[in-house]
Amino acid sequence: MQAIILAAGQGTRLRPLTDDLPKCLVPVGAQALLDRHLAVLAAGGVSPVTVVGGYRADCLENRGFSLLRNPDFASTNMVWSLRCAFDTFASGCVLAYGDIVYSPPVLEALLRHPGDLCVVVDRGWEAYWNVRFDSPLDDAETLRVAPSGVLVEIGNKAKTTDEIQGQYIGLMKFSAQGAKIVCDLVEKTLAENGTLNGKAVEKAYTTDLLQELITLGHTLHPVWIDGGWAEIDTLSDIPVAEERMRYWANIPSSF
């Protein structure tokens, strides 16, 4: 199982740390975000790793992984960055956002799941959001699961917490068959000048892609976790993530 890390964004809310660095190289604790990714992936036997860079991609050269570039990073979103890696993606992979950190047991749970289209979901999201935001609804998105256990909604603006059964963390796994479904959908949408969840492919987020898959009847499996991860989006997220990581050090892993 290989990995693709999407790390093209400018990280404007992390300035001045991102004045001269891509977001994925911002240090959290004693390591850069990207180095933490690489360490956990290596421990889980996930290789090779491909990083899709954009802003300050020159800083990502010669670091022991394959580097691809989204030259349109300033005007596009994550689905366009993912498309830059479709030649690699087609065989299936772990797909991760470059601005998250996660403990080995989180990756372990994802790798164990047999589904073709798997999405890591945090049941314990609300306590974490309450630390990060004045109100959990300031940033949280909808995520609903059918009684059968498959995802039926993801990534839309939530009006109440009743619409949120968990939060998607930016970590997924696609089998070769799942990756083919994704690639075919994106290319068909482009060819037909269509949209993903109402957005042009160039402007679509990964959640728009996932919601479009759900709408078209594909089965997306939630991989449930209870914490064990953090997102670094603003300067205030860094000390919160560092505190969470001190707790993870005591969580055993089979890696």
Task: Report, as an integer, the average pLDDT of 142-161.
Answer: 93
Indicate the class that CATH gives domain 3-248: alpha beta
What pLDDT shows up at residue 246?
87
What pLDDT shows up at residue 61?
93
What pLDDT shows up at residue 255?
52
What pLDDT shows up at residue 64?
87
What pLDDT shows up at residue 250?
65
CA distance 133 to 175: 35
What pLDDT shows up at residue 251?
64
What pLDDT shows up at residue 185?
97
What pLDDT shows up at residue 252?
60
CA distance 182 to 209: 8
Please tell me the pTM assigned to this model: 0.94
170: phi > 0 → left, psi -120 to 50 → alpha, else beta; which? left
Per-residue pLDDT tens for 111-143? 999 999 999 999 999 999 999 988 888 788 999
Task: Name residues whose C-beta falls within 8 Å of residue 250's C-beta, 6 or more positions apart in sequence.
Answer: none
pLDDT over 90 (residue 190): yes
What pLDDT shows up at residue 52?
97
Cα-based distances in Å from 197 to 9, 79, 250: 21, 12, 40
pLDDT over 80 (residue 244): yes
Q: Name the more confident of 90 and 221.
A: 221
Confidence of residue 247 (pLDDT cuts 50, 70, 90): confident
Cα-based distances in Å from 67 to 7, 63, 70, 161, 176: 10, 9, 10, 39, 21
- Domain ranges for the chain: 3-248
